[in-house]
Copies of this chain bind each other. A is one copy, B any other.
Amino acid sequence: MTDPFQRLSLNTITTKNWTLPDALDGAARAGIPAVGLWRDRVAEAGVETAAKIVRDAGLRVSSLCRGGFLTAADDDGIARAVADNRAALEEAATLGTDALIMVVGGLPDGSRDLPGARARVADRLADLVPHALDCGVRLVLEPLHPMFAADRAVLSTLDQALDLAAPHPADAVGVVIDTFHVFWDPGLAEAVARAGREGRIASYQVCDFNLPIAADALLSRGLMGDGVIDFATITAMVDAAGYSGDVEVEIFNAEVWATPGPEVLTRLKTRFAELVAPHLTR
Contacts and interface: CB of A to CB of B under 8 A. Distances in A.
Interface of A: 107, 112-115, 118, 145-147, 149-151, 156-157, 160, 183-186, 209, 211-213, 215-217, 228-230, 233
A186 B230 contact: no
Contacts of A118: 186
B228 A107 contact: yes
Instruction: State the oligomeric state as a number of copies.
Output: 2
Given A147-B146, A147-B147, A217-B217, A113 B186 contact: no
A147 B228 CA distance: 12
A84 B121 CA distance: 47
A253 B160 CA distance: 31
Nearest to A210: B150
A186 B156 contact: yes
7 closest residue pairs by CB, A with B: A149-B184, A150-B228, A112-B230, A146-B184, A147-B147, A160-B186, A146-B146
Residue among A150, A157, A185, A186 facing the most chain B CB atoms (10 A cut-off): A186
A109 to B, nearest CB: 11
A107 B265 CA distance: 30
A120 B272 CA distance: 30
A160 to B, nearest CB: 5
